[in-house]
Structure 1
Amino acid sequence: MPDARQPRKGDSVTARLWGGRFRGEPDPQIAAFTTSLPFDQRLYRADILGSIAHATMLGRSGIIAPEEAGRIVQGLREILGEVDAGLLKIEGAEDIHTFVESALRTRIGDAARRLHTARSRNDQVATDLRFYLKGEIVKIVGRTLALQQVLLALAEAHSSVIIPGYTHLQRAQPVLLSHHLLAYVWMFHRDVGRFRDAFARTDALPLGAAALAGTSYPIDPHLVADLLGFSSLCENSLDATADRDFAVEFVSAAATLMVHLSRLAGEIVLWATAEFGFVELLDAVAAGSSIMPQKKNPDAAELVRGKAGRVMGDLVTLLSILRGLPLAYNSDLQEDKEAVFDAVDSTNASLQAMGLILHGIRINKETIAARLRGGFMGATEIADDLARRGMPFRDAHELVGRIVLYAQEQGRELWELSPDEYREFSPLLDASVVEATTPAGAVARKRSHGGTAPERVQEQVQAVRGALTENLSWLASLPAVPVEREAAAPGVQPGGRAPGR
Structure 2
Amino acid sequence: MDQPKRLWGARFRASPAPELMSLSRSDSSHFRLVPYDIASSLAHARELVRAGALSEEEGACIAAALTAIDEDVSAGTLRPSETDEDVHTFLERVLVDRLGPVGGKLRAGRSRNDQAANDLKLYLRDVGRRLALDVLALQDALVTQAQRHVETVAPGFTHLQPAQPVTFAHQLLAHSQTFARDVERLRDWDRRAARSPLGAAALAGSAIALRPELSARELGYEAPCENSIDAVGSRDHVAEFLFVAAMLGVHLSRLAEEIFLWSSRQFGWIELDDAYATGSSIMPQKKNADIAELTRGRAARLIGGLAAMLTALKGLPFAYNRDLAEDKRTAFEAVDTLSLVLPAMAGMVRTMRVNVAALKKQSTDGFTLATEVADWLARRGVPFSEAHEITGALVRHCEDRGIGLDDLAEADLAAVDVRLEPAIRSCLTAEAAVAARRGYGGTAPERVREQLARLAGTLEAQREWAAAYDGPRS
- Selected match of 1:154 from 124, 133, 145: 145
Q: Which residue of 2 aligns with 1:443?
A: 434
Distance 1:424 1:407 in 2: 11
Distance 2:209 2:256 in 1: 54
Root mean square deviation, CA, Å: 1.5
1:72 and 2:71 correspond? no
Moved more, 121-130 or 461-470: 461-470
Distance 2:287 2:361 in 1: 23
Stretches of structure 1 that go unaligned for 5 or more consecutive residues are 1-8, 488-501
CA displacement at 1:432 relative to structure 2: 2.7
- Residues 177-221 of structure 1 show CA distances to partners (whole Å, capped at 9, x for unaligned) of 000011011101110111001111111101000000012225221
Alignment map for 1:200-279 (pairs within 5 Å):
200-217=191-208, 219-279=210-270
CA displacement at 1:477 relative to structure 2: 3.4
Alignment map for 1:17-96 (pairs within 5 Å):
17-91=7-81, 92-96=83-87
- Residues 391-438 of structure 1 show CA distances to partners (whole Å, capped at 9, x for unaligned) of 221121111111011112222210111234213322322223112121
1:112 and 2:114 correspond? no
CA displacement at 1:373 relative to structure 2: 4.3
Q: Retained in 1: the 8 A contact 2:162–2:366? A: yes
CA displacement at 1:388 relative to structure 2: 2.0
Distance 2:340 2:451 in 1: 28
Distance 1:134 1:477 in 2: 12
- Residues 425-461 of structure 1 show CA distances to partners (whole Å, capped at 9, x for unaligned) of 2232222311212111111111122111111111111
CA displacement at 1:37 relative to structure 2: 4.4
The one-letter code sitting in structure 1 at the alignment partner of 2:33 is: L
Distance 2:188 2:233 in 1: 20
Alignment map for 1:93-492 (pairs within 5 Å):
93-217=84-208, 219-478=210-469, 480-481=470-471
Q: Retained in 1: the 8 A contact 2:165–2:363? A: yes
TM-score by length of 1: 0.92
The one-letter code sitting in structure 1 at the alignment partner of 2:25 is: T
Q: Retained in 1: the 8 A contact 2:278–2:287? A: yes
Q: Which residue of 2 aligns with 1:5?
A: none
CA displacement at 1:10 relative to structure 2: 4.9
CA displacement at 1:150 relative to structure 2: 1.4
CA displacement at 1:71 relative to structure 2: 1.3
Distance 1:27 1:98 in 2: 18
Moved more, 370-379 or 200-209: 370-379
Distance 1:432 1:143 in 2: 50
CA displacement at 1:284 relative to structure 2: 0.6
The one-letter code sitting in structure 1 at the alignment partner of 2:256 is: A
Q: Retained in 1: the 8 A contact 2:364–2:430? A: no
Distance 1:467 1:313 in 2: 30
Secondary structure, counterpart of 2:107 in structure 1: coil
TM-score by length of 2: 0.97
Moved more, 145-154 or 161-170: 145-154
- Selected match of 1:12 from 4, 21, 24: 4
Secondary structure, counterpart of 2:100 in structure 1: helix
Q: Retained in 2: the 8 A contact 1:37–1:93? A: no
Distance 1:463 1:56 in 2: 46
Corresponding residue pairs, total: 473
Q: Retained in 2: the 8 A contact 1:265–1:304? A: yes
Distance 1:128 1:474 in 2: 21
The one-letter code sitting in structure 2 at the alignment partner of 1:73 is: A
Q: Retained in 1: the 8 A contact 2:110–2:201? A: yes
Stretches of structure 2 that go unaligned for 5 or more consecutive residues are none
Q: Retained in 2: the 8 A contact 1:378–1:442? A: yes
The one-letter code sitting in structure 2 at the alignment partner of 1:17 is: L
CA displacement at 1:384 relative to structure 2: 1.2
CA displacement at 1:475 relative to structure 2: 2.6
Distance 2:23 2:101 in 1: 29
Distance 1:417 1:211 in 2: 79
Q: Retained in 2: the 8 A contact 1:37–1:94? A: no
Distance 1:200 1:262 in 2: 27
Moved more, 293-302 or 414-423: 414-423
The one-letter code sitting in structure 2 at the alignment partner of 1:77 is: T
The one-letter code sitting in structure 1 at the alignment partner of 2:31 is: Q
Q: Give aligned-pair identity as a percent.
A: 44
The one-letter code sitting in structure 1 at the alignment partner of 2:195 is: A
CA displacement at 1:276 relative to structure 2: 0.5
Secondary structure, counterpart of 1:115 in structure 2: helix
Distance 2:374 2:214 in 1: 68
Distance 1:432 1:189 in 2: 42
Secondary structure, counterpart of 1:166 in structure 2: strand
Distance 2:110 2:264 in 1: 58
Moved more, 380-389 or 271-280: 380-389
Q: Retained in 1: the 8 A contact 2:169–2:448? A: yes
Q: Which residue of 2 aligns with 1:494?
A: none
